[in-house]
Amino acid sequence: MIELDGVRVEVADYAAGARGPAKVLLDRLNLTLAEQRIALVGSNGSGKSTLLKLLNGLILPSDGTVSVAGLDTRKHGKAVRQRVGYVFTDPLAQLVMSTPLDDVQLSLRPLIKNKGERREKARDLLAQRGLLHTADQSIYDLSGGERQLVSLTTVLAVEPDIIVADEPTTLLDLRNRYLLRRVFSELPHQIIVSTHDLDVAGDMDRVIWLEGGAVVEDGVPSNVLAHYRDAMALR
């Protein structure tokens, strides 16, 4: 379970000058994230990525606290990042090695010291996702869908309890979006995802709609998404 208590995120607003007022990205957020599957929706710039980055301590709140299973992200960043895996929109931002096998092995480094065992485990994990045939291919030669799945495999390799994914289907074609939705629906982890794909949001247990760094509506997908669609159509 993740708790946000009085969370505010502000950054220096360069447009306003060094002494100008700070820019507020998120304001007074109080959220208990306990459901297994949660989607964040909202316009570009509404604060979705900022909120997701708070959940694994990639950014820290300017005010208030974020805690994951009771661990404050400010004090226990390393333990939090082990529990909360972060999947980027663009897998190429995530994959640092040149092949899937090397990348998954890199993730396994802290868990498995023996090189041979690590390689075997990495091959197993790729096989579980149907990706073994890509193991030694250049990550640049994979399809978008394969790349996103490799990226997810590197995140799962660390054995997190929670997966945070920032617009994971945005760069995918329809077939791969269906594939990723299926993979997400089968994962036993808690999943918190930001998305513009309302089918993905509709799969979840709860949808949180953000605008301007604040929650507009929070509830079951059918209700929130109906209101969200209406509001976007009226703009």
Ligand X SMILES: Nc1ncnc2c1ncn2[C@@H]1O[C@H](COP(=O)(O)OP(=O)(O)O)[C@@H](O)[C@H]1O
d(CA 156, CA 179): 17
Rounded to 10 degrees, the C-alpha dihedral 101/102/108/110 comes to: 170
In this complex, which beta carbon is closest to ligand X, that of residue 142 or of residue 172?
172
Least distance in angstroms from the C-beta of 96 to ligand X: 22
Contact call for residue 83 and ligand X (CB under 6 A): no
**Residue 226 burial (C-beta neighbours within 10 Å; 0-12, 13-18, 19+):** exposed
Contact 204, 184 (CB under 8 A): no
Stretch that binds ligand X, among 44-52, 88-96, 172-180, 225-233 (CB under 6 A): 44-52
In this complex, which beta carbon is closest to ligand X, that of residue 132 or of residue 216?
216
Least distance in angstroms from the C-beta of 64 to ligand X: 16
Contact 69, 161 (CB under 8 A): yes
Least distance in angstroms from the C-beta of 194 to Mg ion: 6
Q: State the angle between helix axes of 144-157 and 174-186 in degrees (0 to 180), rounded to the nearest 10.
A: 20
DSSP output for 128-151: HTT-GGGTTS-GGGS-HHHHHHHH
Least distance in angstroms from the C-beta of 180 to ligand X: 19
When CB distances are held under 5 to 8 angstroms depending on the partner's kind, the choice from Mg ion, ligand X, none that residue 42 binds is: ligand X
Stretch that binds ligand X, among 47-55, 79-87, 92-100, 174-182 (CB under 6 A): 47-55
When CB distances are held under 5 to 8 angstroms depending on the partner's kind, the choice from Mg ion, ligand X, none that residue 23 binds is: ligand X
Alpha-carbon separation of residue 215 from 29, 105, 159, 169, 228 (angstroms):
8, 39, 30, 23, 12
Contact call for residue 25 and ligand X (CB under 6 A): yes
Contact call for residue 48 and ligand X (CB under 6 A): yes
DSSP state of 16: G
In this complex, which beta carbon is closest to Mg ion, that of residue 142 or of residue 204?
204
Q: Interface with Mg ion by CB under 5 A: which residues?
A: 48-49
| 107: enclosing H helix or E strand | helix 100-108
Among 2, 39, 50, 169, binds ligand X (CB under 6 A): 50
> Which residues sit at the interface with ligand X, rule CB under 6 A?
11, 23, 25, 42, 44-50
